[in-house]
Chain A
Amino acid sequence: MPAEEHPNKAAFLQRVREALGRSDPLLHMPDHPTLKAALPRQEEKVRTVRARIDVLRAQNLKKLAETATAASWHVHGPIAVEEAAEVVAGIASGLRAKHVVRSTEDVFRRVNVDSALRRSGISPTVLAAGRSRGRSALKGLAFEADLGITGVSYAIAETGTCVVTPRKGIARLTSLAPPAYIALVEADQVLGNLDEYFALTRLVYQKSRGRTPTYVNFISGPSRTADIEQTLTIGVHGPGVVHMVLIA
């Protein structure tokens, strides 16, 4: 059940309306292109987007590697899916990681990160509540970990961005609390630009009748600040070391 309307809402909106020189609410939705595109039109648009992504896959992957590198990601690959787990284990060993947390995106079914890590003497933990672990324990685990690994929903070539969508099995803190982070990106998840991402997102929203993910993060490089003397420093609150593993 939605929360109740705030008691000041009606009066507040009326004052806004009057400031705009109107006395009554609008009768129709204002004419705005991004709002009025109904489902069939959005489906049409997304078909075009998907066709473009297919055609431009190789270019987008190349562009992503460039923009991600420019945004201070360490980019690996594109590599074959069979090699990906070993690459991840190699990064983890290089970082001397002991406490590794990961999430549960589909990519982990194809890339057996856990056994590769175990072979390197690291036993990873899935950062999720379960039979043996309550939600309250997650925070402590995340803050103790020295490496977080997740898959992505999409990657965006325009900006060197990994889109991570926390939900069941995917904690918000996995990609945030540890000082180092690895994102696994599969070639068919790579989009060309922001417009394509938001076109796809709006279609999902429309198809699910107004449901939208509670939380989405664009991650575009390491945590950084220039708040002291305009001097760029990485790893303030989020991970300072970020790796992107591209899987062909």
Chain B
Amino acid sequence: MAQVKSAAFKKASTRALHDQGIQHALNHVMNHFTEARASAIAADYSDESWDAMRTRAAAIKAHTIGNLDYYLDLADRSIRRNGGHVHFADDAADATRIVIDIAKRHDVKRAIKSKSMVSEEMGLNDALKRAGIDPVETDLGEYIIQLAGETPFHIIAPAMHKTREEVSDLFHDWLKSAPTSDIARLCSIAREALRKHFETAEMGITGANFVVAETGTVVIVTNEGNGRMVTSTPRVHVAICGMEKVLPAIEDLPVFLRLLPRSATGQRTTSYTSFISGPRGPSDEDGPEEFHLIFVDNGRLNLLKDEVLREALSCIRCGACLNHCPVYRKVGGHAYGWVYSGPIGAVVTGPMTGMKQAADLPFASTLCGACRDVCPVKIDLPKLLLHLRHRLAEGTGSGERAGTWMERLYIRRWHDAVKTRAALDRSTRLGRLLQKPLVRRGKVRSLPLPVISGWTKDRDFPALAPKSFGEIWRDGLGPAREPE
């Protein structure tokens, strides 16, 4: 599995905040995404009709995930009836082994890939290389970060942190192309380089945006056309997807095909939507002779088991929650330390990879709710983040640590201090005495106590006022009382 570096979130996000290149890219791109989304929605929908569509999509997802065993079974039977093969992989290692076995059986030397987040979870490219198979990413953004040896910065714009100059340097190093700052020229350099791979690769690897259970159809939504190439020219096509990608029937697709492109790139529709229902037929002119679909668990059961977190499996990976998140918009994608970033990454990384190493992520949110408001399938992300914080604090579930004894002590003392009116008045008087040496111009600049000293590290704490509102009120600012 791909390395999980989420434990270093604080350090990595601090680094990102001081990286001018990343800050420039985020400032530039994030507004572009949010504006494109807003105008694409406004062009065709009223607030009410857009909301109704989200409600419908959320209901379809909740229904499918609530009966996931049934729909996985149906999808499996349909795809095999269409002549395809279906695999069920418990974890990343399992899925990787399956892909490599298929590749070995077909004597594959070179595999072309279109975008697949699950293959990022698996760290598939490294595993393929170790097995002597040369993997080539064909989505332009993924190709760029593959050359750079990095991981995706954003779920739908993997190389958004790279400038044209950096891309030109990468192409110069790897493809020996002349340096250029013309983006169209850079695209055509990549086109030429990848065409050779499209013509010669023996195996195509893709993800799946949706899998329709009844007809056994894998749906792939793309803009560049690489997804179509990867599913047309090689001898073997292997699609890899999370087990939650299944939908009941073909007529469930329209709402998702309307929600996804608008939420993701702000398009009415993407350039291409491909529907693949097995290997090519006997009379088809071209297309892979063999088709495989791998359903992957890789930690998703941990989400499914938890009745609150289950909702996160409805995610269609549009990236809107990242684009609207005040935290992601400052720290970017790499700080989250694994494959998924932003609010959805903060929710799924812990349960999928182990809570302990991702314990900081649920706290990397202001709970402003922007993510929930834009989510095309209405995932209540703030609720899920609070649920995870609760689990972390209470120490329920494996690998989760309860709050420290010191935190608990503070909470108990706080409880005693405020539980009655009389107690609150007493504590307030005591607080005024104790704060005296710490107050400078009405602010407490630092709290020299363990644990809570962090509160005043980056901001001041307002000092207790000499008189509380209640006291001012009692002393005569309240309304004159009628004599009885």
Residues of chain A having any CB pair with chain B under 8 Å: 2-3, 5-6, 8-9, 12-17, 19-20, 22, 25-26, 29-30, 32, 34-35, 67, 70-71, 127-129, 135, 138-140, 143, 159-161, 166-173, 176, 193-195, 198-199, 201-202, 205, 210, 212-231, 233, 235-239
Complex: A205 Cα to B283 Cα, angstroms: 19
What chain A residues lie within 8 Å of B88 (beta carbons)?
A: 6, 8-9, 12-13
- Choose among A2, A129, A138, A159 the residue that contacts B268 (Cβ–Cβ < 8 A): A159
- Choose among A12, A30, A210, A219 the residue that contacts B271 (Cβ–Cβ < 8 A): A219
A215 to chain B, nearest CB (A): 6
- Choose among A2, A35, A67, A224 the residue that contacts B249 (Cβ–Cβ < 8 A): A35
Q: Which residue of chain A has the shortest Cβ distance to B76 in the bound complex?
A: A9
Q: Which residue of chain A has the shortest Cβ distance to B190 in the bound complex?
A: A236
- A67 touching B232 by the CB < 8 A rule? no
Q: Which residue of chain B has the shortest Cβ distance to A175 in the bound complex?
A: B228
Given contacts A199-B251, A214-B279, A224-B271, contact A176 B199 (CB under 8 A): no
Q: Which of B154-193 contact A (CB under 8 A)?
A: 157-160, 162-164, 167, 183-184, 186-188, 190-191
- A32 touching B286 by the CB < 8 A rule? no
Complex: A227 Cα to B155 Cα, angstroms: 12
What chain B residues lie within 8 Å of A143 (beta carbons)?
A: 195, 198-199
B244 to chain A, nearest CB (A): 10
Q: Which residue of chain A has the shortest Cβ distance to B303 in the bound complex?
A: A19
What chain A residues lie within 8 Å of B217 (beta carbons)?
A: 212
- B69 touching A215 by the CB < 8 A rule? no
What chain A residues lie within 8 Å of B357 (beta carbons)?
A: none
- B274 touching A195 by the CB < 8 A rule? no
- B225 touching A238 by the CB < 8 A rule? yes
- B284 touching A218 by the CB < 8 A rule? no
Q: Which residue of chain A has the shortest Cβ distance to B306 in the bound complex?
A: A19
18 extra A-B contacts, CB within 8 A, seeds A12-B90, A139-B199: A5-B76, A6-B85, A26-B69, A29-B70, A135-B285, A167-B283, A176-B228, A202-B249, A205-B250, A212-B82, A213-B277, A215-B275, A218-B269, A218-B275, A222-B271, A225-B224, A228-B186, A229-B163
- B271 touching A221 by the CB < 8 A rule? yes
What chain A residues lie within 8 Å of B301 (beta carbons)?
A: 15-16, 19
Most chain B C-beta atoms within 10 Å of own C-beta, residue among A13, A129, A214: A214
Q: Which residue of chain B has the shortest Cβ distance to A196 in the bound complex?
A: B254
Given contacts A194-B253, A230-B160, contact A220 B270 (CB under 8 A): yes
- B225 touching A223 by the CB < 8 A rule? yes
Most chain B C-beta atoms within 10 Å of own C-beta, residue among A17, A172, A215: A215
What chain B residues lie within 8 Å of A228 (beta carbons)?
A: 140, 144, 159, 162, 164, 167, 183, 186-187
Sorted nearest first, the 3 A-B pairs with minimum C-beta distance are A238-B225, A227-B141, A237-B225
Q: Secondary structure at chain A's binding surface: helix, strand, loop or mixed?
A: loop
Q: Which of B56-72 contact A (CB under 8 A)?
A: 63, 66-70, 72
Complex: A218 Cα to B225 Cα, angstroms: 11
Q: Which of B62-96 contact A (CB under 8 A)?
A: 63, 66-70, 72-73, 76, 78, 80-90, 94
**Chain A CB within 8 A of B248 CB:** yes
Given contacts A229-B163, A236-B226, A237-B191, contact A3 B250 (CB under 8 A): no
- A19 touching B63 by the CB < 8 A rule? no
What chain B residues lie within 8 Å of A140 (beta carbons)?
A: 199
**Chain A CB within 8 A of B106 CB:** no
- A235 touching B285 by the CB < 8 A rule? no
Complex: A29 Cα to B239 Cα, angstroms: 26
- Choose among A3, A171, A195, A230 the residue that contacts B254 (Cβ–Cβ < 8 A): A195
Complex: A160 Cα to B215 Cα, angstroms: 25
- A214 touching B280 by the CB < 8 A rule? yes
Given contacts A3-B84, A12-B90, A227-B140, contact A71 B183 (CB under 8 A): no
Complex: A14 Cα to B69 Cα, angstroms: 8
Number of interface residues of B (CB under 8 A): 98
**Chain A CB within 8 A of B229 CB:** yes
What chain A residues lie within 8 Å of B67 (beta carbons)?
A: 20, 26, 30
What chain A residues lie within 8 Å of B216 (beta carbons)?
A: 212
- B254 touching A193 by the CB < 8 A rule? yes
Given contacts A71-B268, A202-B251, A233-B184, contact A212 B215 (CB under 8 A): yes
Complex: A35 Cα to B250 Cα, angstroms: 9
- Choose among B68, B188, B285 the residue that contacts A138 (Cβ–Cβ < 8 A): B285
B481 to chain A, nearest CB (A): 59
- A8 touching B90 by the CB < 8 A rule? yes
- A70 touching B223 by the CB < 8 A rule? no
What chain B residues lie within 8 Å of A71 (beta carbons)?
A: 268-269, 271
Complex: A194 Cα to B252 Cα, angstroms: 11
Complex: A215 Cα to B63 Cα, angstroms: 27
A9 to chain B, nearest CB (A): 5
Complex: A190 Cα to B69 Cα, angstroms: 38
Complex: A35 Cα to B88 Cα, angstroms: 24
What chain A residues lie within 8 Å of B73 (beta carbons)?
A: 9, 13, 25
What chain B residues lie within 8 Å of A159 (beta carbons)?
A: 268-269
- B187 touching A236 by the CB < 8 A rule? yes
- B28 touching A224 by the CB < 8 A rule? no
Q: Which residue of chain A has the shortest Cβ distance to B220 in the bound complex?
A: A217
- B251 touching A34 by the CB < 8 A rule? yes
- Choose among A218, A233, A235 the residue that contacts B183 (Cβ–Cβ < 8 A): A233
- A16 touching B158 by the CB < 8 A rule? no
Given contacts A135-B285, A194-B253, contact A229 B69 (CB under 8 A): no
Complex: A70 Cα to B3 Cα, angstroms: 43
Q: Which of B266-313 contact A (CB under 8 A)?
A: 268-281, 283-287, 295, 297, 301, 304-305
- Choose among B157, B251, B268, B304 the residue that contacts A16 (Cβ–Cβ < 8 A): B304
What chain A residues lie within 8 Å of B251 (beta carbons)?
A: 34, 195, 198-199, 202
- B284 touching A168 by the CB < 8 A rule? yes
Given contacts A166-B287, A220-B271, contact A227 B144 (CB under 8 A): yes
Q: Which residue of chain B has the shortest Cβ distance to A233 in the bound complex?
A: B187
What chain A residues lie within 8 Å of B85 (beta carbons)?
A: 3, 6
Most chain A C-beta atoms within 10 Å of own C-beta, residue among B32, B90, B162, B268: B268
What chain A residues lie within 8 Å of B90 (beta carbons)?
A: 8, 12
What chain A residues lie within 8 Å of B138 (beta carbons)?
A: 237
13 A–B contacts, CB within 8 A, in A order = A2-B80, A30-B66, A34-B248, A139-B199, A161-B269, A198-B254, A205-B250, A213-B275, A219-B272, A225-B187, A227-B157, A228-B162, A238-B224
